[in-house]
Amino acid sequence: MRILSLSSWFPYPPDNGARIRLRHLLAALGAVHAVDLLCFFHGQEERVAPEVLPPGIVLLGALPAPTDWRRLSLGGLLSPYPRAVADQFVPEMANRLADALSPARYDLVLAFEIGPGVTTAPYLLEVRGARRVVEDLEISMIRAKARTARSPLARLRYGLTWQKQRRYTRELLREVDGCTVTSEPERRAVLDVAPDGKPVAVVPNGVDLEQYRGDFGPVEPDALVFPGALTYEANFEAMRFFLGEVFPRIRRARSQATLYITGRTDGVDLSCLPLGDGVVLTGYLPDVRPRVARSAVCIAPLTLGGGTRIKILEAMALGTPVVATSKGAEGLDVTPGRDLLIADGPEAFAAAVVRVLETPELRASLSAAGRRLVAERYDWRTIGQQLNAFLEQIYHQDTNLHR
């Protein structure tokens, strides 16, 4: 097939979940099909270059992503659609898309939905004469916020946003030919909103196993790691919960316990977090593997969010045991107690972490099981084949193309 991909990210460097997923899926597509790319980029002008793309990917154009996507506007408030759709439609991107479609015959246009406040899915509505697929549609996070908001203002805000998201999802899936999600819970959420929509396939996140083999140094007995940037709301809320309610309990049992929080903190109000003894903010690490591999436990105390957790899969691939909340492990095909430990609530989570720190046999068994799970189910090569198979199915389905 000849495929045109639209993305809210440029897939380099692969230093966050969005770019990692995008890069590996583009590589899988480029190995089989002729793939062109139109994308946004986020403050990385010097790194946007065709030569860093996976083989088989041709860069048609890259535009700076809107920098004020968090702003409040009357138009966004009154619109029946989410702000990312109402406020962030970029006419120049639509023009670039029209130029690409004018001389070229594409069999399929794939819109990668991933991105902070910027979506490429609405541009699919400009496409005629080709199959249209949304990649990585996610709605469960905003649905969870609407259901769990505590204050009346928050309930009103997130409730309104959720209603807009529902409308947008229903209308979008009536127009396109199919979509992918990263987990079975996300698939159920989408089908609940649009039960009569188009095919929805689970294409999970994964790991490049070759990058996680080798010796990254000895394990530090009381080291914990949370490999997630605090600029992402779900990560920040996870650390608010863990540092406030869980970590003090761990320190009472293991006074030398140290938590390493990796990733950027630019623009984050750290005064809201109880940072104290035993907490180290590493900042952005060009290579996070040694820090994760040398940690005795990787924690995933998430309380909101969707998708499948690339950081958990990376820790497993490195042989680092994982302790997660139910939300943190949501979407992963795991067996609790064998592949990782799952604990909800401050006391249970702290007890699970201490148990791993104090039981070498448990740590060894979790390490081995995690490595095995990732190798069997979460190799990017296998996942890329799943995406290719779904797109082939969409392309050959017996329906009329949009014209």
Fold agreement (2-206+380-396, 209-377):
yes
Residue range 278-285: mean pLDDT, rounded? 95
- Whether 69 has a pLDDT exceeding 50, the answer reads no
What pLDDT score does 98 carry? 92
Backbone dihedral angles phi then psi of residue 171, each to the nearest 5 degrees: -70, -40
Residue boundaries of the structural domains of the chain: 2-206+380-396, 209-377
What element of type H or E holds 374?
A: helix 360-377
What pLDDT score does 73 carry? 52
Query: Any residues with CB less than 8 A from the CB of 189 and at least 6 apart, and which?
Result: 139, 140, 143, 306
What pLDDT score does 399 carry? 57
Band (pLDDT 50/70/90 cuts) for residue 46 is low
Band (pLDDT 50/70/90 cuts) for residue 402 is very low
Please, what CATH class does the domain formed by 209-377 belong to? alpha beta
Query: Any residues with CB less than 8 A from the CB of 356 and at least 6 apart, and which?
Result: 296, 297, 321, 323, 341, 362, 363, 366
CATH 1.10.3720.10 correct for 2-206+380-396: no
% of residues, the chain, pLDDT over 90: 66
CA 300 centroid distance within chain: 14
Residue range 118-144: mean pLDDT, rounded? 88
Residue range 32-53: mean pLDDT, rounded? 86
Q: What is the spatial distance between Cα 47 and Cα 67, in angstroms, rounded to a whole number?
A: 18
Q: Please write the tens of the pLDDT for every residue from 96-125.
A: 999 999 887 899 999 997 644 568 888 988
Q: Please write the tens of the pLDDT for every residue from 298-317.
A: 999 998 876 558 899 999 99
Q: Please write the tens of the pLDDT for every residue from 14-35.
A: 888 888 999 999 999 999 999 9
Band (pLDDT 50/70/90 cuts) for residue 251 is very high
The average confidence (pLDDT) of the chain is: 89
